[in-house]
Amino acid sequence: MQRIPTFSKGGVHPDDRKVYSRSAAIERLPMPSELIVALSQHLGAPAKALKAKGDTVMKGEKIGEASGFISSDVHSPVSGSIKEIRKVTLANSVQCDAFVIVPDEVQPADPEETVDWQSLDGSELLSSIKDMGIVGMGGATFPAHVKFSIPKDKKVDSFVVNGVECEPYLTADYRIMLEKGEQALEGAMIVAKIVKAERVIVGVEMNKPDCIDHLKEIVKEKGYPIEIVGLKMKYPQGDEKQLLKAILNREIPSGKLPLDVGAVVSNIGTCNAIYEAIVLKKSLYERVISVTGECIANPKNVLAPVGTKMSDLLDFCGGFSKEPEKLISGGPMMGFSFFDTETPMTKGSSGLLALGAQKKYRSTACLNCGRCVAACPIALMPAKLYRYISNGEYEEAMNTSLMDCKECGCCAYVCPAHLPLVHTMKTGKKLGRKKK
């Protein structure tokens, strides 16, 4: 029997709970009464505001300009007027300025003219990706034009597309692969041209057999030199380190990037956004988000403008079937818990989860059982790092590879003492950086 590829160290197998929304085709959200478009919805420096209160904006117009090397432009998702500019707190606790935009009653249609990307060279394609504000859609929101700018001393032989979506509940990427697979694969070919990759490989977990078959049919029909690889179901296989180990059997050394082992990794949703940016000249002002969980009346995958308030998404899905105990932006393993439904979604908002009553646990002393070590996909020692950080020994924690922690939550998931391991790692990183 042929072995199904996966990464070798650690990992866990949580119930995927995708049944709530996996059969829900993508639906477009009716235009909200107002949008809150944040200037910091990407990794790096916030964008610089290009508009003021009272200004009118056009759909797709640049309203925020990248303010550093690692930063990204922000575009208006609608035509309308800027009601105000105010401070907001995003689901990930980042505080930044945001445009409050009131949409016009009549919105312009998306342009129908397409661009022949094959006539453009890599630098032109890369410039367009930057101008359209494309960032990683899997949650990290790293500016795509920075990731795809390959230094002259580096060579990329493989472009790996992440179609794993291993976080429980989330099905946005799943629906994109089924409904927009042709565009996403063409977007992957565009990236391959930019980074000059010899191989293009799409990794999809085996709990999505219909996606695997569908993508293989497209590849065959279009004649794309793309490999579709089915992967064993294991979290956090969507992380680039684990994905490269599973598909290419390459390990990224501590402190290094996929580029250092000759690869570039990008999410399937990002590839779809790149297709739209290059071929349709559409800036990144809307995305698909899974609104799901036990407490959502009608779970859906929603195509919504960036800046949509969580309350508008909840209303579109029929509100709550029962009172949720927790709201999460993203997935339950690496997402962010929040309480204010006026919080706006961003380019990186892959999910809005409303979860029911959670079983309560009391933390006890570490049992020294080693389960966290066995579960860690980076082969760290979470219990040891926990002790260092809890005792204020931040330098020791940093010297014990704390910065390699991916904050995936595997250690906390298996801990029988129910220690707040992930939260402690995050705190340790912040305080450890300050001590340096």
Known binding residues: 366, 369, 372, 376, 405, 408, 411, 415
By CB atoms closer than 10 A (0-12, 13-18, 19+), residue 422 is buried
Question: Is 389:363 a contact under the CB 8 Å cutoff?
Answer: no
The binding site for [4Fe-4S] cluster comprises 366, 369, 372, 376, 405, 408, 411, 415
Strands 336-338 and 263-267, by their bridges, are unpaired
Instruction: Name the token pair of 207.
Output: 């709990």
